[in-house]
């Protein structure tokens, strides 16, 4: 376990054992961001090359900035093609800048008039980003780079999670005015996919504090979604909902424990999935890594240091392996972010 002191990580992505990216923000100067406040200051970018997490210096405008800024998502395809979605504003998110690393330098930032919450790069030349618009009245917002030009517009849901295996296979999940939704892009248009009854009771997803935490696109007939629920009525108490797509429809997979999903669901490289959940309240919260494989659930406590567990917030499978990266906030090491790895 490695700790980045005084940092908050907002995005994590891995492509291979020697290629991974993470990004977030840190308080660079107490004069501009306040002691102990990591909500603004300097954007932090790290690349894993198989031996260490190397610092990649962000553009100068994102170093020691007086603006509130943080990273909402990271999307990449290689060490020479990475996107960092940097949220910026004064008292809230006024816009998101898409920062593109080309292998040697940063390209000119692209301004997105939205609070981006999820992004995915389905190919080396494409990017999809989703979130909540900041300038128009609309449930959601999308931005798409097709390799040459950007398109922007309203979207029927506020995307909170996205995944892709190719430019013709993109998934996004999030909140709609009537509840939760998951849609699929086939390369030409978006398709709404019907969800099973989640037992959330009446009210919108925002009222129930229910979010699609993540999506794992393993194959055309093997897609996973995890949903965290903090407040619910009816048959489903607060907790975690796991959904599986078999190529035709979504079905619910029973989750055996209390606690709500706090990370995206991630493939395990062997036909199963991992996710992290938090159970308990106040100082009695315990964080778990939960694993499903061949119809069986197992779990292990998130490792601790000095009795403190990282508050896990990101999880990413390392393709070609059975290993994963995770990040989580910690109270030790000047309120920083721990980087954890799992290998087998």
Q: Domain with 123 in it: what CATH number?
A: 2.130.10.10
Say which range, 30-39, 68-77, 107-116, 117-126, has the weakest mean pLDDT.
30-39
Asked whether residue 271 is assigned to any structural domain, the reply reads yes
CA distance 162 to 164: 7
Q: What integer pLDDT is reported at residue 235 of this predicted model?
A: 47
Output the furthest CA–CA distance in the chain (Å, rounded): 55
Q: What integer pLDDT is reported at residue 27 of this predicted model?
A: 79
Torsion of CA 278, 318, 101, 72, to 10 degrees: -10
- For residue 236, pLDDT beyond 50: no
Give me the domain span that covers residue 261.
Answer: 113-301
Q: What integer pLDDT is reported at residue 232 of this predicted model?
A: 52
Q: Compute CA 196 distance to the chain's CA centroid, rounded to the nearest angstrom.
A: 23
Q: In what order do the strands lie in the sheet with 140-145?
A: 114-123, 126-133, 140-145, 150-155
| pLDDT tens readout for residues 245-275 | 999 999 999 999 988 999 999 999 999 999 9
State what percent of residues in the chain have pLDDT above 70.
90
Q: Categorize the per-residue pLDDT at 238 as very low, low, confident or very high, splitting at 50, 70 and 90.
A: low
- For residue 241, pLDDT beyond 90: yes
Count of structural domains within the chain: 1
Asked whether residue 162 is assigned to any structural domain, the reply reads yes
Asked whether residue 80 is assigned to any structural domain, the reply reads no
Q: Categorize the per-residue pLDDT at 39 as very low, low, confident or very high, splitting at 50, 70 and 90.
A: low
CA distance 278 to 240: 10
Asked whether residue 231 is assigned to any structural domain, the reply reads yes
Asked whether residue 93 is assigned to any structural domain, the reply reads no
Q: What integer pLDDT is reported at residue 118 of this predicted model?
A: 98
What is the mean predicted confidence (pLDDT) over 144-160?
96
Burial class (CB in 10 A: 0-12, 13-18, 19+), 123: middle
Q: What integer pLDDT is reported at residue 203 of this predicted model?
A: 57
First to last CA, the chain: 16
DSSP character for 60?
A: G
304 by DSSP, 3-state: which?
Answer: coil
Asked whether residue 25 is assigned to any structural domain, the reply reads no
Asked whether residue 154 is assigned to any structural domain, the reply reads yes
Q: Which region, left, alpha or beta, applies to residue 267 given φ > 0 means left and ψ of -120 to 50 means alpha?
A: beta
Asked whether residue 11 is assigned to any structural domain, the reply reads no
334 by DSSP, 3-state: which?
Answer: helix
pTM of the model: 0.93
Q: What integer pLDDT is reported at residue 178 of this predicted model?
A: 84
């Amino acid at each position: 376990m490695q700790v980045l002191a005084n940092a908050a990580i907002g995005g994590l992505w891995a492509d291979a054992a020697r290629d991974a990216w993470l990004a977030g923000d840190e308080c660079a100067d107490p004069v501009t961001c306040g002691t102990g406040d990591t909500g603004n200051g300097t954007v932090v970018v790290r690349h894993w090359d198989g031996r260490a997490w190397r610092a990649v210096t962000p553009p100068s405008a994102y170093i020691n900035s007086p603006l509130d800024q943080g990273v909402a998502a990271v999307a990449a395809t290689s060490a020479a093609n990475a996107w960092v979605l940097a949220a910026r504003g004064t008292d809230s998110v006024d816009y998101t800048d898409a920062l593109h690393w080309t292998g040697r330098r940063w390209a000119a930032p692209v301004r997105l008039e939205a609070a981006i919450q999820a992004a995915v790069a389905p190919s080396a030349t494409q990017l999809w980003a989703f979130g909540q618009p900041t300038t128009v009245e609309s449930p959601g917002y999308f931005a798409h780079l097709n390799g040459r030009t950007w398109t922007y517009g309203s979207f029927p849901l506020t995307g909170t999670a996205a995944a892709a295996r190719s430019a013709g296979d993109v998934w996004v999940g999030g909140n709609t005015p009537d509840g939760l939704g998951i849609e699929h892009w086939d390369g030409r248009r978006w398709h709404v996919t019907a969800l099973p009854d989640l037992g959330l009771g009446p009210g919108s997803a925002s009222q129930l504090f229910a979010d699609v935490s993540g999506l794992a696109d393993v194959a055309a007939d093997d897609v996973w979604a995890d949903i965290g629920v903090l407040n619910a009525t009816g048959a489903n108490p607060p907790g975690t909902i796991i959904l599986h797509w078999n190529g035709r429809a979504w079905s619910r997979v029973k989750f055996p424990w209390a606690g709500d999903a706090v990370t995206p669901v991630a493939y395990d490289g062997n036909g199963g999935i991992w996710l992290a959940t938090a159970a308990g309240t106040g100082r009695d919260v315990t964080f778990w890594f939960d694993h499903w494989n061949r119809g069986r659930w197992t779990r292990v406590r998130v490792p601790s240091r000095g009795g403190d567990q990282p508050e896990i917030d990101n999880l990413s499978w390392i393709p070609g392996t059975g290993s994963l990266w995770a990040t989580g906030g910690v109270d030790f090491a000047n309120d920083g972010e721990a980087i954890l790895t799992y290998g087998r």
